[in-house]
Chain A
Amino acid sequence: MSVAAKTGAGLVQITVPDLPGGAAEAVLERWHVGPGDQVTPEDVVAEVTVGRIRIEIEAGHSGLVEHLLAQAKGAVIAPGAPIAVIAARGEPDARREMSPLRAAAAPCPDLAEPPRPFRSPAAGAAPPPEPDETARVSMRDALRGALVAEMRADDSVLVLGENAAEQGGAYKVLQGLADMFGPRRVVDTPRLLQGVAGLAIGAAFAGLRPVVELRSFSLALQMIEQIVHSAAKTHYVTAGALHCPVVFRGPTGLAARSGAQHSQDVAALFARIPGLSVVQPSDAGDAGGLLRAAIRAPGPVIFLEHELLYGSDAPAPAQDAPLPRIGAARLLREGKDVTIAAIGLGVRHALDAAHALEADGISAEVIDLRSLRPLDSASVIQSVRKTGRCVTVEEGNPVGSIGDHLAGILMREAFDWLDAPVISCTNADVPMPYAANLEQLAQVGVTDVIAAARAVAYR
């Protein structure tokens, strides 16, 4: 892939191409060239990643590399953003004119400006706040901040994961942690998943608080025996003699075009297991607090992060904001006609649907469940007593879904307040297909939620 944008004076910018799945950003992995290198159009100049997908960026033009705009490995870059400047072949003067030292005098002011689309997560800094705008934080930075805070506060907290130290882990959440805490506390593990899972659980039995990062929660299915038997059940069957304060965290849910074994939601699978807590933040503002609460929890926590939300941002919570309680849902929008209880990316769909329904005169209340075990059914019941109707939204498959579980609870405990059957919006009951159109058909989306809300409101 390559995009070369023509600029003045024989200079061209190499820009980030459109990303798979319409992703909003990619992470710079490495440069193959440096200033002064001669390139031809098909030369690969850089590699970036979007999630697990590695993309090579080609020069798209012949010439000399002038300078690189995004230097730092791990820099986050958006589609269309320039990443390097090359001087078209045979125009050496222009190259000199554009040298970084003289950038201020360059004839292309847009190139001379600081490369705005870049920010370096390694520096741990969110982009400087605009005037009249509250500070915002990305999901990635919020999660990293939570890990840093808990690791600073407690030496028994450590991180284990594939490429945790070397490459900053999955979606670069761990970027910079190895520099701050060293290899003792940021541990690179091989992909020996049963072994690593058992080892982390044993370390927790012995008093540590390990946070295990998974490249994808699909890999947790190779760990599931240890998670279900050793992490979840041992505290109970030893009458509390052994404690297992371990967190398994990492990406889950729809991963665009990744296929059935890497694009799936495992929330309901783990939520069935007594002894586990299962948490999924739906936005960047809530993610850090939830992760800190998970690390402090006395037992094992499955902490699910949505593949598509790492780059999303939200107003940063106040430094002294109290940590959320695991097991408490969050009311995101008040309404009176229908309750929409949602999880993870489903919360986005719920909020978008609520907005659309408003135009039709349907007032939707949106609840972010955020903890699937314990499940805050009391908050949903309370809401349904007001609205009389409920729709649930999650990305898992329908059989044994959180939504159907909640529907059962509402039928038993809020029957007299229900004016319509509960509708659970889930993905289709198929393994996630690859083809773009089938993938679209298989996944729950905002139109499903709108249709369900209209149906329960008989509108």
Chain B
Amino acid sequence: MPSDTAADAPVTTEELTGFLRDMLLIRRFEEKAGQLYGMGLIGGFCHLYIGQEAVVTGLSAAARPLDRSITSYRSHGHLLACGVPPAAIMAELTGRASGLSGGKGGSMHMAAPERGFFGGHAIVGAQVPIGAGLAFADRYAGEDRVSFVYYGDGAAQQGQIAETYALAQMWNLPMVFVIENNRTASPGSPKQVELTALAAAHGIASEVVDGMDVLAVRQAGRRAAQRCRAGRGPALLEMRTHRYRGHSLADPAGQHSRDDTRRIRAERDPVEHVRRRLRDRGTGEDTLKRIDDAVREEIAEAARLARDAPEPRDDSLFDHLAMVQE
């Protein structure tokens, strides 16, 4: 895809500081969730986003306020990136009434449509055709919106994703397919094919992006979104990223080797990458520490609230089920 001046606009120190704060919020949130999981306060599935923070942070910066997004079960980072308070997410993880889904969804089932985020979907790949539906609705209503639809390298070879490529291309849907390729598709997955080639077979333009570099992500996101807004149809971004933790806390399968992760963490960590840039611009250690401290405090408070909040009332069991008109 051709680059342009808007997409390649230089980053300001203020923006870099914002990226650092946003990525640290995800990092510290996930670390805390891991702790609470270990303490038995979070049950079942809990898929952490540590290592992939630059992807959702960069694309959120590329998106406009009314744009939409949707993702899989690995959704905490996306919820934080669209501005949901950490306490509401953490309380959902602990299954409390003050959780974003009233304690009925858990880690994989949260949505904030008023912020443009449409979930949190627990079945691998299911969110991709749904994401096309968001874009379809916008095209139908003539809304100038782009839908960012996230999925992993495991889902990327599914039949329903191929079907969605075909539908998106046929109807020229304003959507950006975002493959978060952490190269850890569950064991037994077919040997990885070139994922962009699967989309190219349907005529969808794509780009491979360094998903550990928030600026590269933002620039690619702007190019893809511009393409959609210009009515030139869907685009695909393959984000090469690296997840530090296992598939889920209950299922560490698909983890990279410890050496691998240590090396990548040292050389390519997305948070460190931004810190380094800020240091290069003369931001002092005090300022950097203040940002981290404020985030740690916010997350500690969220965890405290999530521990102390009451469980949902028994009589909420049948809420949100009466789907026919009385």
Contact = CB atoms under 8 A, between A and B. Distances in A.
A359 interface: no
A374 B120 CA distance: 28
12 contacts: A194-B160, A199-B164, A202-B118, A202-B137, A205-B133, A225-B126, A226-B126, A230-B123, A235-B320, A238-B119, A239-B319, A240-B319
Interface residues of A, number: 49
A237 interface: yes
B129 A229 contact: no
A231 to B, nearest CB: 10
B323 A242 contact: no
Contacts of B101: 237-239, 241
A146 to B, nearest CB: 16
B140 A226 contact: no
A212 B96 CA distance: 37
B12 interface: no
A202 B130 contact: yes
B325 A203 contact: no
A194 B126 CA distance: 9
Contacts of B321: 235-236, 274-275
Contact of B134 (A194, A205, A226, A235): A205
Interface stretch (A128-136, A166-174, A293-301, A436-444): A293-301
Given A230-B121, A236-B320, A237-B101, 20 more contacts: A158-B140, A195-B129, A195-B166, A196-B129, A199-B130, A200-B133, A202-B118, A203-B133, A205-B118, A206-B68, A207-B141, A225-B126, A229-B122, A234-B119, A235-B321, A239-B100, A239-B101, A241-B100, A274-B321, A297-B325
A313 to B, nearest CB: 27
A197, A234, A293 pick with most chain B CB within 10 angstroms: A234
Interface of A: 158, 184, 189-190, 192-208, 225-226, 229-230, 234-242, 274-277, 293, 296-301, 325-327, 374
B136, B164, B166 pick with most chain A CB within 10 angstroms: B136
A241 B100 CA distance: 9
A242 B132 contact: no
B137 A203 contact: yes
A275 to B, nearest CB: 6
A383 to B, nearest CB: 22
Given A203-B134, A226-B129, A240-B320, A192 B166 contact: yes
A241 B166 CA distance: 29
Contact of B123 (A195, A202, A229, A242): A229
A92 B260 CA distance: 90
Contacts of B105: 237-239
B170 A203 contact: no
B153 interface: no
A74 B121 CA distance: 42
Contacts of B130: 198-199, 201-202, 205, 226, 230
B102 interface: yes
